[in-house]
């Protein structure tokens, strides 16, 4: 008789393909490079070009240019009022209702950031092309607590901030548990070049041919 481990395992379950971000009838109103997300009761849209990022409510049709470089990753706070942006080697936070931007940290040398998200408490996680970094909020800045060598290509974080999923350039998807003091590698999946995205309390990984949901069993 099979005995299930008491420690939950993280598995990949094949899921339906990712839906289109914007309804087809609305696409003509917006640039091709866009990202749509829901925070609170509003649906927001990011549009990004070579040198700027714009933010707006999807139902308003107007975008506000933000004082940050081209977006390369976003993490929505669980309360729906603010978001982290990873742009080049900078991590910024924007208040969604007003568009006010606070620059929190310059990651210094190395590869550009590719994804970010809120961890538990006052922590945040950022992935770059050569590392994953755990940070802690202190006032209007972030300070580094830990970094692990990872060739990141994207990052998604569960809404409760306890699990991060990092896609890599090495044909891997790596899951990390997050506490307010440390990142710990949880599982590694082999895959083709992939990207991840979060929907509410669920995380999906797609290699553009199949889509998988990462779940605890």
What percentage of the chain exceeds 90 in pLDDT? 20
**Is 24 contained in some domain?**
no
Q: Which two tokens mark 155? A: 């990052």
| Predicted TM-score (pTM) of this structure | 0.77
Q: What is the 3-state secondary structure (H, E, C) of the chain?
A: CCCCCCCCCEEEEEECCCCCCCCHHHHHHCCCCEEEEEECCEEEEEEECCCCEEEEECCCCCCEEECCCCCCEEEECCCCCEEEEEECCEEEEEECCCCCEEEEEECCCCCCEEEEEECCCCEEEEEECCCEEEEEEECCEEEEEEEECCCEEEEEECCCCCEEEEEECCCEEEEEEECCCCEEEEEEEECCCCEEEEECCEEEEECCCCEEEEEEC
Instruction: Assess whether pLDDT exceeds 80 at residue 214.
Output: no
Indicate the number of domains in the chain: 1
Instruction: Assess whether pLDDT exceeds 60 at residue 5.
Output: no
Q: How confident is the prediction for the chain on average, in pLDDT? A: 76
**Is 192 contained in some domain?**
yes
Among candidate residues 119, 78, 109, 72, the one with its CA nearest the CA of residue 91: 72
**Is 177 contained in some domain?**
yes
Distance (Å, whole) CA 41 – CA 78: 12
pLDDT tens digits for 97-106? 888 889 999 9
Instruction: Assess whether pLDDT exceeds 50 at residue 23.
Output: no
**Is 49 contained in some domain?**
yes
Higher per-residue pLDDT: 61 or 175: 175
**Is 85 contained in some domain?**
yes
What is the residue range of 102's domain?
10-19+31-216
Instruction: Assess whether pLDDT exceeds 90 at residue 182.
Output: yes
Q: What is the pLDDT of residue 176?
A: 92
**Is 73 contained in some domain?**
yes
Domain of residue 191, CATH code: 2.130.10.10
Q: What is the pLDDT of residue 24?
A: 46
pLDDT tens digits for 42-88? 777 776 665 667 777 766 656 677 777 666 678 888 888 888 888 78
pLDDT tens digits for 114-155? 889 999 999 999 999 899 999 999 999 999 999 999 988 888
**Is 2 contained in some domain?**
no
**Is 25 contained in some domain?**
no
């Amino acid at each position: 008789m099979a005995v299930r481990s008491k420690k939950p395992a993280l598995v990949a379950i094949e899921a339906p393909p990712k839906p289109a971000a914007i309804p087809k009838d609305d696409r003509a109103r917006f640039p091709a490079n866009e990202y749509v997300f829901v925070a609170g009761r509003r649906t927001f849209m990011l549009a990004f070009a070579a040198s700027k990022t714009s933010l707006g409510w999807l139902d308003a049709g107007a975008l506000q240019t933000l004082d940050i470089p081209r977006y390369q990753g976003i993490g929505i706070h669980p309360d729906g009022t603010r978001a982290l942006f990873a742009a080049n080697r900078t991590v910024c936070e924007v208040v969604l209702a007003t568009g006010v931007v606070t620059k929190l940290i310059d990651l210094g040398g190395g590869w550009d950031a590719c994804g970010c998200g809120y961890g538990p408490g006052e922590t945040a996680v950022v992935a770059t092309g050569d590392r994953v970094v755990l940070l802690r909020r202190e006032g209007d800045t972030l300070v580094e607590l830990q970094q692990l060598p990872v060739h990141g290509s994207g990052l998604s974080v569960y809404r409760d901030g306890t699990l991060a999923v990092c896609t890599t350039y090495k044909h891997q998807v790596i899951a990390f548990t997050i506490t307010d003091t440390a990142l710990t590698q949880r599982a590694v999946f082999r895959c083709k070049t992939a990207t991840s995205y979060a929907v509410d309390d669920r995380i999906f990984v797609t290699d553009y041919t199949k889509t998988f949901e990462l779940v605890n069993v």
